[in-house]
Amino acid sequence: MDRIYSDQPVAQAITAGQSGTAAPMPSVVVLPPLLGASVAELTEWVKQQQQPAYRGQQLHQWIYQKGVRSLDEISVFSKQWRSTVADVPIGRSTLHYRAAAPDGTVKFLLRLADGQIIETVGIPTEKRLTVCVSSQVGCPMGCDFCATGKGGFLRNLERHEIVDQVLTVQEDFQQRVSNIVFMGMGEPLLNVDNVLGAVRSLNEDVGIGKRAMTISTVGIPGRIRRLATHQLQTTLAVSLHASNQAVREQLIPSARQYPLQDLLAECREYVQLTGRRVTFEYILLGGLNDCPEHAVELAEHLRGFQSHVNLIPYNPISEVDYQRPSPQRIQAFLNGLKQHHIAASVRRSRGLEADAACGQLRAKKVGAIA
């Protein structure tokens, strides 16, 4: 199932990219759990249980529209059959911890069936409800500024565990989710199968448009190209965080095997294959990558590129001593990009009072509630 238990798959993915081939697509176990399955898959499953085919549509409605957590709760099914399948998991998590910020942002720690804890975030605005979802338990990439990377890596999330995060936020807010960003714990392109399966389910079963979804990656050789072949219409967000190779290697260990120029070349190929622009994420670290010359370097890389740069002022974590730039330096960097005709904006941090960085809440609260 494309699970990873060490940093070895990162090296394997990089080696595969350098050799010109992508890592093989792993098989996906469809059922159970039932969450993440399509109407067709659920219909086939109920038929295997010697139930009439129309039960598949009913099951789909109860899972995705009513948010049922157990088959025993589905009152339109006979009590006899419900008792037979009572132990079949739908695939919903349980709430481990909930933290709300004054701006309305809510962070959730969700306990999975095997006891692992993941983090997801609901971010409301006047017109939208965005969910920041995790794709792995922890992260193997080890980015130096990231709280999640400091906590190590355990495994990939399954399709149902990704979809569940969105349903959990939707139920908590009592509001339809409009947007999804794969920017939580983990590297989505090291869990391609389950991320693609979740995107399909969130689009077709939950009803969220693919153009309202963003898949973020720090860059895995060959995987951006592979993503492009699926023509998803989702947004690709690439975490650059540096304007040159030396600084990127300091921040992102995998950059040593996947140079910045190679990553940008694959991004250009993505634009050619999909016709969609790439969003580049750039965390501004005071005194390290936020100088005027860095803005010029970044602009030179992106000149003529169908792209947009999201500047993200650093949110401090306790494990490292990077600094958040002053508002003046942030504005100067933004102005430097715009002077070179690079589309850019500054992302306003949300939910800082709930916790400053992805992964911190989990680190503090794991084990806090039985």
Which class for 52: exposed (0-12), middle (13-18), buried (19 or more C-beta within 10 A)? exposed
Q: Which residues have CB under 8 Å from 91's CB, separation 6+?
A: 32, 33, 34, 35, 36, 113, 158, 160, 161, 163, 164
E strand or H helix that includes residue 286: none
Question: Catalytic: which of 44, 73, 119, 143?
Answer: 119
Question: Catalytic: which of 139, 146, 267, 358?
Answer: 358
CA distance 63 to 112: 17
Would you give the distance in Å from CA 178 to the centre of its chain? 15
Distances (CA, A) of 163 to 76, 148, 166, 197, 256: 24, 20, 6, 9, 33
Q: Is 91 left (phi over 0), alpha (psi -120 to 50) or beta?
A: left
E strand or H helix that includes residue 282: strand 278-284
User: For residues 124 and 105, is the Cβ–Cβ distance under 8 A?
Assistant: yes
Q: Is 291 a catalytic residue?
A: no
User: Residue holding tokens 């529209």?
Assistant: 65
Q: Is 319 a catalytic residue?
A: no
Count other C-beta atoms under 10 Å from residue 178's C-beta. Answer: 15
- Active-site residue set: 119, 358
